[in-house]
Structure 1
Amino acid sequence: MLSCWSTMTMITFSLSTTSAGNHTDQLALLAFKSQISHDPLRLLNSWNTSLHFCQWQGVTCGRRHQRVVKLVLKSRGLAGSLSPYIGNLSFLHTIDLENNSFHGEISSSEVLGRLLRLRVFALGNNSFTSELPSNFSRNLESLSLGRNKLSGTFPKQLCALQKLKTLRLASNNLTGSLPYDLGNLSSLQFIDLASNFLEGGIPYSIGQLKSLYFLGLDENMLSSKLPPSIYNLSSLWTLGLTMNRIVDRLPSDIGRTFLPNLRELFIGENHFFGPLPSSLFNISTLEMLELSRNGFTGKVPDNMGNTQKLQVLSLSHNNQLGSSGHSDDLKFLSSINSTVLRVIQASDCQLSGILHKSLANISFTQLEELILSGNQISGIIPSEIFIKLPNLTILQLSDNFLTADNSFTGSLPVEVGNFEYLVDMDVSNNYLEGEIPNTLSKCLSLRQLSLMGNSFQGSIPPSFSSLQGLKFLDLSQNKISGQIPMFLQNQSSSLQYLNLSFNNFEGAMPTQGIFQNASAFSILGNNKLCGGISELQLPACPIIKQKRFGKHQISLGLKVAIGVIVSTTVLAALLSGRCWVMRRTKNGFSPANSIGKGHFGSVFKATFHEGTEPVAVKVLNMIDHKASKSFMAECEALRNVRHRNLMKILTACSTVDFQGNDFKAIIFKFMPNGSLENWLHPIRSDDSYLTKNLNLSRRLNIAIDVASALDYLHNQCETPIVHCDLKPNNILLDEDMVAHVGDFGLAKSLQRKNSNSGTTDTTSSFSPRGTIGYIPPGRRPTDEEFEDGLDLHQFCKIALRKEVMKIIDPHVLEHEEEEEEEEEANDDHRDIHLNNSEIQRSTRHESGKIEECITSIIRVGVECSMPSPSERMEIKNALKELLAAKKLYFS
């Protein structure tokens, strides 16, 4: 079939302007194109007779002979098989088809053997299923076939490639043992064979690779001891042996004699035993040290002063690591002298002693994670941990012998909100006072919170309504006042135990949720409470009696209405003055101050007085008859809601201008980082840098912020609110890149289903309003790719069945990815030097976890955009999934 096709093709093309060799290249490229079954970006549309093949996308020709020297179609979403006719591209020195969906067999050894000039062969992150090819040109310098489904053993023929510098075969199905001749690859600098099924030992000849800086053999079945020659690799930066079956000791002089340039040592989940050599910490270049889940014994060396570049120290699950009750087991912590240290993991060992104040010394300012649970640590928790470690987000000290009473004084620092992954917080029986910081609501992973036995005052922060995972809350024996918040009775809350005893609460008791079970909560010592369930035996709440007003009765509802009217009148008078000040300010609403435009008005940046904080003023376009309705809808929606991820209304005004026309405006807190839309799709060329800073971590945080706001609106408000126009234009970012949902001009209030009243929740019955189609991060629904029935939902759903990494916006992983440097198109040979960026990119970042995290996020998006509303994931479940993805990403 293919030969007939080639014959017909030869008839079509003119031979008058090309040599035979050139024509061979053209036919080979067209044969390659014929095997492509999916080209979502339509890149191969340029591969036609109207252009010379040297001008086709992805094709580079040499200047002298006009022959194809490079074929680079990396990350283009291509699917299909690899045509054997690439063997006819006899001048080819680089082929890069990584990160696509090619499948089937890689071309036969006979085909690859004809590419005598080949230096770079990169087909990683596809779905090839053949055995690993072996017949390559001796000029080959880089072989990248990782993340495929290749099988078979490691070919001995590869050991003859004297010029090979980079070998990437990770995440395949390779079996058998490593050949002894591996040491013959004398030019090898980088080898990654992780996540295969290799067994046996590491060959002694590995010590001959004097240029090797990266050796990745993680997640195999390698056993026996390490060859002593491996410690002679003086150029080695990264040694990855995690999750194997190696049984060995570390040499006592490892840091004095061997591996002088080692940056990353990953030997966790093996069978290493014996003491940790103190010389290991003489290696001044160490950045990551992962020794967990082994059998190390004895005391942790406390001579870590040379490890000034150390970022991660993991010693967990070495259950004999410690000095059996000696009080100085934790001395190693104070010996660390690294200003970039981020993670200390030493759980489930035998460490004893007490936590010293020096733990919070000046060098630990970047510490994000401190895990010391499951040891024999005693004493009190130093208060300096909370004060001097501003970036600490994970603190685990459970299963030790620490006391709970620490004699803390003063107020609870607002910085406690920085502990995003805090699960359990107990500061009971101290001398803390002041108000409970509302920043605790940022600790979305919080499950248990005990503040009992202090002197906290004020009310329970309304922001606590965002702590949907909270199961245990003890606020007893304080001075907290006000009414018990109604959000605590929310039926969707996970709260299982609540202790509010001996405070100053007053007013009516809630009767729903946890307050239906008298054994699940306690309110003793609050003498001003009334009502509640009958088991409490509280006095009935007083009924406001009607009073005579002349000859008429004034009901409580009418009194409230009168109060509202009076206060609204006064407020209107005040606001009219403020509006007048804004209108008379020179150039107050000029186009130069415009920062956005919505359905029914424009938004301007403004200040009321010189030196004050700027505000955002949404001025309604009263020419549109729907603007007034939008104004009322937005005020109605936001008047009783409070959430850190909702735009905060500072005030509003409704008056007339100098011409007697209606004037309505809403004043919000100013968001200095603008809208999410501007970050995802910059309009001006000078804004293009914005997307580069919006990496996966920031995007995930923004998604969690938005989901938290929607969960609050849907499930935690007394009257559920549906936004009806959620899109990146309506998501604003503050100075800390925290997202706030705004523009409630189309919002709709709903009634919850109530069997007594007969009202129903109409969430699924009303038609969406606002912008047609959801405008997501990355591709828009109007992308040219979406046609013939394909939409964004289907696009992502299909990717879940294949590989989601191929549809990701390149900016998402920019901190780990780098565009390949373009080299001059010529036929001259040159060496491929690995730059520092590639070295950093190639080190032990958890790409598998990142992919799993992204897969979870895409799955949430797909399930939240199902065509039928009944099939869509509830927002509270979506929020949990996103939080789980975030925890995975930062693990």
Structure 2
Amino acid sequence: MMKNISFRFHCSYPIFTCIALCLCLTSLRFPSVAALSSGNETDRQALLAFRDSITEDPLGVISSWNSTIHFCEWAGVSCSNQHPGRVTVLNLESKKLAGTIPPHLGNLSFLRGINLRVNSFRGTIPQELGLLSRLRYLNLSQNAFQGEIPSNLSYCSNLQVIDLNYNNLVGEIPDELSVLSMEKLTGFGISVNNLTGNIPIWLGNASSLIKLSMGENNFQGSIPTELGRLSNLQLLQIAGNNISGMVPPSIYNLSSLLYLDIGDNRLYGRIPLDIGFTLPNLLGLYVGQNQFTGLLPVSLSNASELLDINFAFNKFTGTMPPKLGSLKGLERFTVTSNLLGTGEAEDFSFLTSLTNCSNLKLLDIGFNNFTGELPASIGNLSTTLEYLVAGTNQISGSIPEGITNLLGLTMLVITKNSLKGEIPASVGKLEKLVDLRLFDNKISGAIPASLGNITQLRRLYLHTNNLSGNIPPSLGNCRQLELLRLFSNNLTGFIPKEVGSLSSITLSFNLAHNSLTGPLPTEIGNMSKLTELDVSNNKLSGEIPSTIAKCLMLERLDLEGNLFGGRIPPALSILNSLQFFDLSRNNLLGQIPAFLQNFSLLQNLNLSFNNFEGEVPQGGIFRNTSAFSVVGNQKLCGGIKNSGLPACEIPVAKKTGTSLAVKIAIPVAISCVILLACSIGYLCRRKRPERIPSTMLPVDEQFRKISYAELLQATNGFSSSNLIGEGSYGSVYKGILGSDGTAVAVKVIKLTEKGAAKSFMAECNALRSIRHRNLIKIITTCSSIDSKGDDFKALIFEFMPNGSLEEWLHLSKGEQENSRSLSLVQRLSIAINVASALEYLHHHSQAAIIHGDLKPSNILIDHHMTAHVGDFGLARFLSDSQPTSSEIQTRSTGIRGTVGYVAPEYGMGSKASMQGDVYSFGILLLEMFTGRRPTDSIFNDSLNLHQFSKMALPERVTEIVEPSVLLEVGGNDDRVMGKVKTEECLVAVLTIGVSCSKESSGERMDMRDVVAELCMIRNKVFTE
């Protein structure tokens, strides 16, 4: 599509030139005094068009562009001295502007520079910028531009700098840019976009190029050898792509290079040992996260200006380069996650050399094979050193006393080694330390009380050592401590109240597997935001403090293997965030509290080997025998059928002597009660009106009333930290409701939005009459007045801890790093859940209901990964789905629903129908398995998600599905069969998706058939 536009523009370019020439001749023949005094009218009109395209101007920069002053004096505008009234520079960097670039800028024919860096411009970059033949630099970085790079920039023959970094551009670099006058190009930046393809070979013709930045895109292939011709290049940055192969030797001969960043790719081979001689001016060398092998370059010391060296996450071997101390300005040096080290005592000799680097801030040698003791000279490293990381090596000996001279340290990590001896008492001098990690060693002795002097300490990891003695109360001085892990040591004594009351601890308080005694301090309740409390396998006694109930964020509570007695405190009933709860191997007694079955997030409950008695609850987690354990409690009974417990005895009333008067009185009384009941029943039948079924009552009459104040408290004042979603008509907050601490989702209706009130009523009408396991469960509603006196309406739903399907299908970059994805089995199961919900709405509810807005963000996932369809704001009963005249008029300006998921017939005025929901489901199903939104940038007028999937059936399905789905291909013994089953499943599922999303509504499947076929696929593929 873009190529066609380019072609048309090329053909018409001579015409534009002729017209411009004619206009120039006309102005010469008929000059005007007004034109001479006011400057060039064409330039003024172009600037006015730019002004009108601005939608946000908080600093008032553009709003000052008015007729009271000449446009050459407008903010950000510069004009030529030789050609009065002709604009030469437009510089509006960092002005917080938003809007688009109008094509009229192409009329500023004398323009030499455009700088709109760091604003919020959006839309596409207009092709008309190609008219600016005098343009030398174009900087549109750090905006929100979309679309492709305009090919017509090739006409800007004087361009020297192109900087498009940090936008949302897509596609490939246009081949047309190769016609630029490359000898003038000094900068080319397009990093952090979505560009694909190979690195263009023609860039090698830009002999004067100084900066080439193409990082964080989707480039593939190899690095072109031709880039080695860029003799003036100072920065080469292509990190964060999918580039593979070996680095061409010509790159290492670019003697002008100051920064070489080729990290986070798939490059392999060896780094030349003489790189320091061929690139003597290097300031930064970044080759991390590749597959390089061999020795580290011995010539690094020759590049004496080096500030930053990153060789991390490769396969380098051997010793560290000698004479690193020659790099006097070195600030950061990281070789983590390699195979460095020889097993000899000299492995750490390089540390002595680094003591000459007086500016060193970061030294990371972790995850290697360095062997031996840390030299005493480590204490002579620069006091500017902030990060010292040496974890996961083969370090022996003790921690050098001199390490406490490194007063600038904020992080010290020497984990998973073989350190012995004690922690130096002088460690308290490291007052800037924020993170101290010494776990998984053989360190002995007591925990130094001087740690309490490090008041900025946030994370302390000393677990899995041989530490002994008491926990120093001085740790209570570390009032910023977020995490304390001391488990798996030999610690004794009480848990100090000073430590137990640290409200700053939120991530973990883990003292497990020690020999601690005494009670668990009641002050533990001060840790109100704590998520993990583990004091298991100690000798703690007394009762479980009820103050633990104040730790409302607790997800893991482990008290196993202690001497706790008494009953489980009823106050703990509000800990609804618990996922793991272990009270096993204690001396607890009484009945198992019924509130445990209300913990909807609980996945593991262990109450074994205590003295509990009575009946075991049957709800919640107690329905799943693999999720809880009560063995070793001899007096328990009941539970679900397959619990293995004896049935509970029914108590029998004790027989006592009964007098004759009582024997006579009882039958008489019973007879009187029966007679009275019959009389009342007769009267009621005559006068009682017809009873209204509960399902026909408004939602807020079926459930208990709830006030605005209760919701305000439950959501922490509708805090932004509780906000979990936002839509056109409402914002959704997480809340903790009532004395039982039920986790809920509160949808607050935006009543100021047009149509919001109608959406609220539609949702109420739909929800009051439906009940299904795969539909979102409503708890209650609220219709009240808020604190400002305005109307307030909200719907309160069961909270879904795993968010929406949208969040699982389209992860953010940070989440992708954590590799969270849906498996093939999970995707199929969710598809069946959603299909079952639609089948119920269409064919089994009291009146057929059309959902009207099925999409991933409206499908919520519970803690069992079961899907629930929600958001019935556009739902309609089939009986009243015929559009009203006002609705028909509305459709001329917009379609109800979400673009990409709305059935095509809705755009032509058709009424809402079951087939419309089927279409949305079909698109959703294709999106779930291909990983592509229906609005993906690859789709245009001639291609959509339906056609994209249809063309791949059946042979090419593996080419279009989400890559993580293909990981499920069985074990080692039946990998081929597993692959066949996977492909069969994908073909069958995509066939259903294509069938449901056909353009003709009459050709789409019925949801009853969809459910049946999806279940058949699941049974065939995963049970055979």
> TM-score per shorter chain, which class?
0.5 to 0.7
2:145 pairs with 119, 122, 127, which one?
127
* CA displacement at 1:369 relative to structure 2: 2.8
User: Is residue 437 of structure 1 aligned with residue 479 of structure 2?
Assistant: no
Using the alignment, how far apart are the partners of 1:463 and 1:362 within structure 2? 38
Q: Provide Cα deviations, 1:467-494, integer angstroms capped at 9, x if missing partner.
A: 121241259668x999823325968643
- Matching residue of 2:349: 331
Give the alignment's TM-score, normalised by structure 2: 0.46
Using the alignment, how far apart are the partners of 1:422 and 1:32 within structure 2? 56
Is the Cα–Cα contact under 8 Å of residues 463 and 487 in structure 2 kept in the other structure? yes
* CA displacement at 1:219 relative to structure 2: 1.8
* CA displacement at 1:512 relative to structure 2: 5.6
Using the alignment, how far apart are the partners of 1:48 and 1:518 within structure 2? 66
Which amino acid in 2 is paired with 1:250? Answer: I
Which amino acid in 1 is paired with 2:43? Answer: D
Using the alignment, how far apart are the partners of 2:323 and 2:187 within structure 1? 36
1:222 pairs with 232, 243, 246, which one?
243
Using the alignment, how far apart are the partners of 2:242 and 2:228 within structure 1? 21
Report the 3-state secondary structure (helix = DSSP H, G, I; strand = E; otherwise coil) of the residue aligned with 2:195.
Answer: coil
Using the alignment, how far apart are the partners of 1:248 and 1:46 within structure 2? 58
Using the alignment, how far apart are the partners of 2:186 and 2:399 within structure 1? 51
- Matching residue of 2:92: 73
User: Is residue 498 of structure 1 aligned with residue 538 of structure 2?
Assistant: no
Q: 1:73 to 1:409 in 2, by over 3 A?
A: closer
Using the alignment, how far apart are the partners of 2:238 and 2:154 within structure 1? 24
Which amino acid in 1 is paired with 2:531? Answer: S
1:144 pairs with 145, 163, 175, which one?
163
Is the Cα–Cα contact under 8 Å of residues 524 and 548 in structure 2 kept in the other structure? no
Q: What is the aligned-residue identity percentage? A: 31
Q: 1:445 to 1:510 in 2, by over 3 A?
A: closer
Is the Cα–Cα contact under 8 Å of residues 159 and 182 in structure 1 kept in the other structure? no
- Matching residue of 1:276: 296
Q: 1:333 to 1:501 in 2, by over 3 A?
A: same
Q: Provide Cα deviations, 1:88-117, integer angstroms capped at 9, x if missing partner.
A: 212222211223343444232xx4454233
Q: 1:413 to 1:357 in 2, by over 3 A?
A: farther
Using the alignment, how far apart are the partners of 1:132 and 1:90 within structure 2? 18
Report the 3-state secondary structure (helix = DSSP H, G, I; strand = E; otherwise coil) of the residue aligned with 1:230.
Answer: helix
Is the Cα–Cα contact under 8 Å of residues 75 and 98 in structure 1 kept in the other structure? yes
Using the alignment, how far apart are the partners of 2:86 and 2:59 within structure 1? 25
Give the alignment's TM-score, normalised by structure 1: 0.53
* CA displacement at 1:26 relative to structure 2: 0.9
- Matching residue of 1:469: 507
- Matching residue of 1:314: 334
Report the 3-state secondary structure (helix = DSSP H, G, I; strand = E; otherwise coil) of the residue aligned with 2:47.
Answer: helix
| 1:215-254 to 2 correspondences below 5 Å | 215-254=236-275
* CA displacement at 1:70 relative to structure 2: 1.6
Is the Cα–Cα contact under 8 Å of residues 154 and 180 in structure 2 kept in the other structure? no
- Matching residue of 1:580: none
Total equivalences in the alignment: 547
Report the 3-state secondary structure (helix = DSSP H, G, I; strand = E; otherwise coil) of the residue aligned with 1:413.
Answer: helix
Using the alignment, how far apart are the partners of 1:103 and 1:492 within structure 2? 40
| 1:500-649 to 2 correspondences below 5 Å | 510-511=545-546, 513=548, 520=559
Using the alignment, how far apart are the partners of 1:289 and 1:81 within structure 2? 40
Is the Cα–Cα contact under 8 Å of residues 94 and 118 in structure 1 kept in the other structure? yes
Q: 1:309 to 1:753 in 2, by over 3 A?
A: same
Which protein, 1 or 2, shows the higher relative CO under an 8 Å CA cutoff with sep ≥ 6? 1
Q: Provide Cα deviations, 1:707-754, integer angstroms capped at 9, x if missing partner.
A: xxxxxxxxxxxxx99999999xxxxxxxxxxxxxxxxxxxxxx99948
- Matching residue of 2:125: 106
| 1:158-169 to 2 correspondences below 5 Å | 160-169=181-190
Q: 1:139 to 1:387 in 2, by over 3 A?
A: same
Q: Provide Cα deviations, 1:509-538, integer angstroms capped at 9, x if missing partner.
A: 6246499999716767xxxx9978799779
Higher helix share: 2
- Matching residue of 2:307: 287
User: Is residue 299 of structure 1 aligned with residue 319 of structure 2?
Assistant: yes
- Matching residue of 2:361: 342
* CA displacement at 1:213 relative to structure 2: 1.8
Which amino acid in 1 is paired with 2:137? Answer: V
- Matching residue of 1:835: none
Report the 3-state secondary structure (helix = DSSP H, G, I; strand = E; otherwise coil) of the residue aligned with 1:135.
Answer: helix
Q: Provide Cα deviations, 1:38-57, integer angstroms capped at 9, x if missing partner.
A: 44555433333333222333
Which amino acid in 2 is paired with 1:429? Answer: L
- Matching residue of 2:7: none
* CA displacement at 1:218 relative to structure 2: 0.9
Is the Cα–Cα contact under 8 Å of residues 302 and 333 in structure 1 kept in the other structure? no
- Matching residue of 1:206: 227
Which amino acid in 2 is paired with 1:444? Answer: E
* CA displacement at 1:450 relative to structure 2: 6.8
Using the alignment, how far apart are the partners of 1:272 and 1:117 within structure 2? 44
Using the alignment, how far apart are the partners of 2:557 and 2:80 within structure 1? 83
User: Is residue 116 of structure 1 aligned with residue 133 of structure 2?
Assistant: yes
User: Is residue 453 of structure 1 aligned with residue 491 of structure 2?
Assistant: yes
Which amino acid in 2 is paired with 1:411? Answer: A
Q: 1:355 to 1:106 in 2, by over 3 A?
A: same
Which amino acid in 1 is paired with 2:111? Answer: L
Is the Cα–Cα contact under 8 Å of residues 277 and 301 in structure 1 kept in the other structure? yes
Using the alignment, how far apart are the partners of 2:467 and 2:105 within structure 1? 75
* CA displacement at 1:24 relative to structure 2: 1.4
Report the 3-state secondary structure (helix = DSSP H, G, I; strand = E; otherwise coil) of the residue aligned with 1:127.
Answer: strand
Using the alignment, how far apart are the partners of 1:374 and 1:172 within structure 2? 36
Is the Cα–Cα contact under 8 Å of residues 94 and 120 in structure 1 kept in the other structure? yes
Q: 1:345 to 1:136 in 2, by over 3 A?
A: farther
Which amino acid in 2 is paired with 1:131? Answer: I
Q: 1:423 to 1:166 in 2, by over 3 A?
A: farther
Is the Cα–Cα contact under 8 Å of residues 308 and 331 in structure 2 kept in the other structure? yes
User: Is residue 370 of structure 1 aligned with residue 353 of structure 2?
Assistant: no
Q: 1:115 to 1:725 in 2, by over 3 A?
A: closer
Is the Cα–Cα contact under 8 Å of residues 79 and 88 in structure 2 kept in the other structure? yes
Which amino acid in 2 is paired with 1:52? Answer: H
Is the Cα–Cα contact under 8 Å of residues 151 and 172 in structure 1 kept in the other structure? no
Using the alignment, how far apart are the partners of 2:213 and 2:325 within structure 1? 32
Using the alignment, how far apart are the partners of 2:515 and 2:254 within structure 1? 63
Using the alignment, how far apart are the partners of 1:380 and 1:43 within structure 2? 63
- Matching residue of 1:778: none
2:458 pairs with 420, 431, 438, which one?
420
Using the alignment, how far apart are the partners of 1:117 and 1:498 within structure 2? 72
- Matching residue of 1:191: 212
Using the alignment, how far apart are the partners of 1:82 and 1:721 within structure 2? 46
Using the alignment, how far apart are the partners of 2:784 and 2:364 within structure 1? 51
Q: 1:403 to 1:374 in 2, by over 3 A?
A: closer
Is the Cα–Cα contact under 8 Å of residues 481 and 505 in structure 2 kept in the other structure? yes
Comparing 431-440 with 300-309, greater Cα deviation is found at 431-440
Structure 1 unmatched ranges of 5 or more: 8-13, 540-719, 728-749, 756-763, 771-800, 802-847, 853-891
| 1:675-694 to 2 correspondences below 5 Å | none
Q: 1:434 to 1:383 in 2, by over 3 A?
A: farther
Is the Cα–Cα contact under 8 Å of residues 166 and 188 in structure 1 kept in the other structure? yes
Structure 2 unmatched ranges of 5 or more: 1-15, 17-22, 24-31, 420-439, 570-584, 590-712, 721-735, 742-781, 789-806, 808-812, 818-1024
Using the alignment, how far apart are the partners of 1:518 and 1:94 within structure 2? 62
- Matching residue of 1:87: 106
Comparing 404-413 with 162-171, greater Cα deviation is found at 404-413
Q: Provide Cα deviations, 1:186-243, integer angstroms capped at 9, x if missing partner.
A: 3322211112233333333434433322111112233332222222222221100012
Using the alignment, how far apart are the partners of 2:105 and 2:558 within structure 1? 75
Which amino acid in 2 is paired with 1:365? Answer: T
Which amino acid in 1 is paired with 2:545? Answer: P
Is the Cα–Cα contact under 8 Å of residues 35 and 41 in structure 2 kept in the other structure? no
Higher-Rg structure is 2
- Matching residue of 1:681: none
Using the alignment, how far apart are the partners of 1:275 and 1:455 within structure 2? 51
Q: Provide Cα deviations, 1:651-678, integer angstroms capped at 9, x if missing partner.
A: xxxxxxxxxxxxxxxxxxxxxxxxxxxx
Is the Cα–Cα contact under 8 Å of residues 93 and 116 in structure 2 kept in the other structure? yes
Is the Cα–Cα contact under 8 Å of residues 329 and 351 in structure 1 kept in the other structure? yes
Using the alignment, how far apart are the partners of 2:302 and 2:444 within structure 1? 37
